[in-house]
């Protein structure tokens, strides 16, 4: 599927993002939480992936803190998964980080989320630690992943 990945700029983008959030997470962030993220430009960023019809099919939210990216959420609509959309989003996010001067990136992922772990591993993330009981409903440990450096190949997951 040909998609574009772009910064959230409209309330329609946010509405689409929220639909992906609701379909993807057991404890979704609220509209108010995302509106608060949008009020912190320069630190908080929201990108959406759109299909050729302009429908939001995925998104990623992250913070840039000094020289680090902190990836908060990355999700794709269930019916659009396994089509390279998450790779396109993550590649774009890492490219944005590189351009902004970030030298590394971090995130937490559920220990049981094998698909996400494989995606992040393809992009050079490695396990740096465990946060016991980090997730709720159901309770589960989070793996803390880090990626050092943003080489030019960041967009391809190589």
Chain segment 101-134, per-residue pLDDT in tens = 889 999 999 999 999 999 999 999 999 999 998 8
Please tell me whether the overall predicted TM-score, pTM, comes out greater than 0.75 for this model: yes
pLDDT on residue 152? 54
Closest by alpha carbon to 85, among 108, 41, 55?
Answer: 55
Question: Are the CB atoms for 1 and 80 separated by under 8 Å?
Answer: yes
pLDDT on residue 158? 42
- Which domains does the chain carry? 4-156 (3.40.630.30)
Active site residues: 108, 120
pLDDT on residue 156? 46
Residue range 23-30: average pLDDT? 90
CB within 8 Å of 58: residues ≥ 6 apart:
3, 20, 48, 49, 74, 75, 76, 77, 80, 85, 86, 89
Distances (CA, A) of 133 to 113, 130, 136, 137: 15, 9, 7, 10
- Cα distance between residue 69 and residue 63, in whole Å: 6
Q: State what percent of residues in the chain have pLDDT above 90.
A: 73
pLDDT on residue 155? 46
Answer yes or no: is pLDDT of 65 > 70.
yes
CB within 8 Å of 8: residues ≥ 6 apart:
14, 17, 38, 46, 47, 48, 59
Average pLDDT, the chain: 90
């Amino acid at each position: 599927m040909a998609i574009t990945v772009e910064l959230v700029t409209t309330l329609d983008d946010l509405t689409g993002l929220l639909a992906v959030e609701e379909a993807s997470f057991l404890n979704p962030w609220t509209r108010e939480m995302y509106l608060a993220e949008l009020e912190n430009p320069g630190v908080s960023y929201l990108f959406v992936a759109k299909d050729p019809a302009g429908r939001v099919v995925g998104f990623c939210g992250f913070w840039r803190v000094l020289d680090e990216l902190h990836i908060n959420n990355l999700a794709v609509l269930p019916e659009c998964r396994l089509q390279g959309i998450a790779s396109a989003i993550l590649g774009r996010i890492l490219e944005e980080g590189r351009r902004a001067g970030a030298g590394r990136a971090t995130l937490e992922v559920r220990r049981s989320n094998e698909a996400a772990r494989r995606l992040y591993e393809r992009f050079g993330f490695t396990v740096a630690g465990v946060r016991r009981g980090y997730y709720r409903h159901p309770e589960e440990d989070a793996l803390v992943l880090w990626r050092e450096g943003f080489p030019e190949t960041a967009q391809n997951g190589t």
